[in-house]
Amino acid sequence: MTNLTELLGIAEKRAEGRPVLVYQGREWSHAELAAQSRRVAAGLKSLGVGKGDRVAIWLPNAPAYLAVFFACARLGAIALAVNTRYRSVEVGDIVSRAGAKAMIYWPDFKGIAFNEILAGIDPGELAGLEHLIVYSEDGAPAVSPVPEATPVSYDDLAAHAELEEDHADDGLGCAIFTTSGTTSKPKFVLHHQSSIADHGLQIADSFGWRGEDVVHLLAMPYCGVFGLTQSMGAIASGRTMVTMPYLDIPEAVRLMKAHRVTHTAGSDDMYAMMLEEAAGEQTPFPAFRSGIYALFNAALEDIVERAEQRGMYITGVYGMSEVQALFTRWPDGSPVAVRKRGGGIPIAPTAAVRVRDPESGRLLGVGEPGELEARGPSMMMEYFLNPEATAKTLTDDGFIRTGDLAQMTEEGGFEYLSRMGDVLRLGGFLTAPAEIEARLLEHPSVKDVQVVGANVGGRNRAVAFVIPAGAGYDEAAVIAHCAAGLAKYKVPARAVPLDAFPVTQSANGVKIQKAKLREMAGELDEEPRRRAGQG
């Protein structure tokens, strides 16, 4: 098994002088990234960060993200991924519950008021945060809007002498991803170093990323398992990764052409927008060889065919935070009808999948839908600080109950069908309806609420149905309340008042008809949200 320090060494040898990444037009060598991670490790050690401590990384895709990630591994610390789209409610909850000792952020990134977001968090939630590391590419001063946290400049942190001691270990926890289930609080998915490093090495080999002319475009955020997994596979391949701090479609198209990108990964929306941006060219990316896509938008079910017509071979895969992204793939040369589906065959020889009837417990055969269970070397250690959820998710023989509806295929893989429960997929992230509902219920005019997903304006969106607490209900004000505390992609497109929810009687009591609510949501327009200024 491989630890993350060893992964950097393997990658440098494979690179044979190629840069590890290109960022904002500047090339970074493998040696330079490794050296910066050792200096940052020394800086973090001087702040008292050590084995098992959590360091929250609230950054977009930048070399500093990777430097801090590998620095944490060198110290035996744990990198806690925090989405840059998160706002006060989410950041406060994650940093507090995970017990982060330090956090790094970019206060002037894209003009977003990150300092105001931090200042808006209940001080009690950040009482355990000792250090706030300020990263900036525009000279922002190292000040702390968190009273108890000492501000530190990232540049000062990275100016330390390189730390030669190495506490990296393949069995140590190293990364926490947040994921939503059926509760309002995201769970913390903890991975150890070998699950990240060995999965990266497996990806590099399985997806054909070690060819002489391979160049990656990385546009998905490192803070999500999709982006980080792709980055680890790209690093492991020893080939150059052209990194964008955030997804900008015209810039992505320019970079694809300028760097003759051969491989990338992203959502169906990303590919559709890139093809639209290059609408005047039949084959806009002649060097492109293969892409990985995730189906997030039901309106883009034809994206594989559309891409194929423009010279782009893309394929569906499967992954989740608990087993990481790119857990499976379809065989090379599979027809469009196969590649447009999520799922595939596990890439690790020791991984396994099966489908079980969730009611009878019977293992199901080919073509029988049931709950997908998965096991392999890329799987999580546990849900951090949540042994009950861990025990509920893991089977006695070490499989993860994924909560996904799937069916086995003849080839020994599976086809992903949908989520078993009501979890929403918004903005490329799985989001619990209860998390949005909890925010809505804080508004005095909301008595009760149900949130479902629907295609609104051509995108998957959250839609809320509200039982008002009294007269004078203001839909735009309720949506604005959500926008003040949640990531933009979680803000409901509508918050429609109802006298009562549609219900049905069952042997177990009264149940709300979520299917009926989804049907109602699909018939709505987005006008009230536009009036609220959140469109």
Report which residue type is found at 351.
A
CATH number of 431-531: 3.30.300.30
**Residue 354: which residues within 8 A CB-CB, separation 6 or more?**
363, 372, 373, 399, 408
- Identify the pLDDT of residue 184: 53
Q: DSSP character for 163? A: P
Q: Which residues on neighbouring strands pair with residue 104, listed in sequence order?
A: 57, 133
Place of tokens 């020394």: 42
pLDDT tens digits for the chain (535 residues)? 999 999 999 999 999 999 999 999 999 999 999 999 999 999 999 999 999 999 999 999 999 999 999 999 999 999 999 999 999 999 999 999 999 999 999 999 999 999 999 999 999 999 999 999 999 999 889 999 999 999 999 999 999 999 999 999 999 999 999 986 444 588 999 999 999 999 999 999 999 999 999 999 999 999 999 999 999 999 999 999 999 999 999 999 999 999 999 999 999 989 999 999 999 999 999 999 999 999 876 568 799 999 999 999 999 999 999 999 999 999 999 999 999 999 999 999 999 999 999 889 999 999 998 999 999 999 999 999 999 999 999 999 999 999 998 999 998 899 998 777 777 878 877 677 888 998 999 999 999 999 999 988 888 899 999 999 999 999 999 999 999 999 999 999 999 999 999 986 433 345 688 889 999 998 887 666 544 445 4
| Pairwise CA distance, residues 364 & 1, whole Å | 33
- For residue 528, the model assigns a pLDDT of 63
Question: Nearest Cα to 493, choosing from 416, 426, 419, 411?
Answer: 426
Tell me, yes or no, if the two domains 247-417 and 431-531 fold the same way.
no
Task: For domain 247-417, give the fold.
Answer: Rossmann fold (3.40.50)
Tokens of 166: 């190495």
Question: Residue 429's pLDDT is what?
Answer: 79
Instruction: Output the pLDDT for position 531.
Output: 45
Give the C-alpha separation, 254 to 274, whole Å.
10
The CATH topology of domain 4-191 is Rossmann fold (3.40.50)
| Domain residue spans of the chain | 4-191, 247-417, 431-531
3-state secondary structure 23-79: ECCEEECHHHHHHHHHHHHHHHHHCCCCCCCEEEEECCCCHHHHHHHHHHHHHCCEE
3-class SS shares of the chain: helix, strand, coil, % to 5: 30, 25, 40
d(CA 295, CA 318): 10
Q: Are 377 and 351 in contact (CB under 8 A)?
A: yes
Residue 502, phi then psi, degrees to nearest 5: -70, 130
What pLDDT does 509 receive?
45
Phi, psi of 305 (to 5 degrees): -65, -45
**Helices within 353-396 (DSSP H only):** 387-393
